[in-house]
Amino acid sequence: MTELRFGYGTNGFANHRLADALAVIADLGYAGVALTLDHDHLDPFAPDLARQVAEVADRLRDLDLAVVIETGARYLLDPWRKHAPTLLHDDRYLRLQFLRRAVAIGADLGAEAVSFWAGVRPSEVDERLAWERLVDGCAQLVDVAAGAGVPLGFEPEPGMLVEDIASWRALHAALGRPPGFGITLDIGHCRCLEPAPVPDCVADVAEHLVNVQIDDMRRGKHEHLEFGTGEIDFPPVLRALADAGYRGLVAVELPRHSHAAPTVATRSIEFLRRAERAAGLQHRPTVGATARAGAGRAGRAGPAATEGDR
C-alpha cells in the first residue's frame, strides 16, 4: 500500500493566470497539477512556446509540484467546434499535431502522463471507419510517446467512441497491448457508466492505471460535481487506489467551478483528507508542503467566494 498524492486540474482555475493557479494549488498542499493545455494557461501553438514551457518547468520545480498533461481544452483547435477535430474526423491531422506537441511538452515538463480521449463519432463517419482512424491515430502516438519516454493515459469518456473500460480494453488489444498505453480513470465516470462498484473498477484496471481524475457524480449523469454532492462513497475508492499500489496523481477534476476556484480547491483537499482518514490511510505531508499551506492560509483575506458569483 502507498500514500495517495492529490492534485488539482488547471481547467478548474480558468480565470487565474497559470503561475497564480499553480501557487494556490501548491499553497493548499496538493502534490501536483493536471495541466490542461489551452489558450490562456499554456498554448501549445504559441510562437514563444519554448520560453513558456521553460518558465512553467521552473515554476513547477520551485513549487515542488508533479504534473500530468491534459488535452481536453475547449475550442483550442477550432473556434466553432468545442472539441473538434478529434482523431475520428476527416481533418484529424490537426488533433494528431496537437497531441504530438502535448507529448513533447510533457517530456519537457517531466510529466507523469499525457492524457487524451477518442472524441464523439461524427454523424457522417461510420463506426468502422471511426474505429480504424482511432486505432491508427493512437498507434502513431504510442510511437511518439515511447520515443519521448512519456506514458499515455487514454481516458474512456461518456458519450465518446471509447466510453467505458471494456471499450478501452478493446482499443488496447487492437494496438497490440503496448506497455506505454495506459488508462486515465475518471472516478466520476465509473459511477456514471460502469456496472461494477467504483472500487471494483479501480481494481479491474490497476495494472494499467497511469492517471486518475477524481470528482463526484450520479449514476447515468455526466456531471462533474463537488465532493459530497453526488453518490460516490469515497473512502473505499481511496482504499482501492492505495491497495492497488497506484503511485500517480489523483487530480481533482472540476472544470465548471472556476468562478470559485480557491474556495472549491480548499474544500476539495479537506474532503479528500477526511476521506483518506476514514479509509484508514495515513497522510504525512512534506515540510515544504506544510509551510506553503500555512503561508497560503495566512495570505488569504476576505470572505469566501459565493456559489452565486459566476
- Average pLDDT per 10 consecutive residues for the chain, totaling 310 residues: 85 96 98 96 96 98 98 94 96 97 98 98 97 98 98 96 96 97 93 86 96 89 80 94 96 90 96 95 58 43 37
Task: Measure the CA–CA gap between 268 and 274, rounded to whole angstroms.
Answer: 10
Does residue 174 lie in a domain region? Answer: yes
Cis peptide before 199 (omega within 30 of 0): no
What is the pLDDT, as a whole number, of residue 283?
A: 63
Length of the chain: 310
Q: How far apart are CA 237 and CA 267, in angstroms?
A: 18
pTM of the model: 0.90
Look up the domain containing 151 and give its range: 5-298
Q: Per the domain annotation, does 309 fall within a domain?
A: no
Angle (CA) 276-18-108 rounded to 5° is 85
Which pLDDT value is given to residue 304? 38
Kindly state whether residue 272 falls inside one of the protein's structural domains: yes
Determine, yes or no, domain membership for 170. Answer: yes
Euclidean distance between CA atoms 67 and 146, whole angstroms: 18
**What's the number of domains the chain is made of?**
1
**Residue at 305 is within a domain:** no
Residue 127 counted as domain residue: yes
- CATH number reported for the structural domain that contains residue 193 in this entry: 3.20.20.150
Q: What is the pLDDT of residue 17?
A: 96
User: Which residue, chain included where needed, has cell 488535452?
Assistant: 71
Asked, for residue 308, whether it belongs to a domain, the answer is no
251, 212 contact by CB (below 8 A): yes
Tell me what pLDDT residue 310 has: 37
Report yes or no on 35 lying in a domain: yes
- Say what the pLDDT of residue 306 is: 35
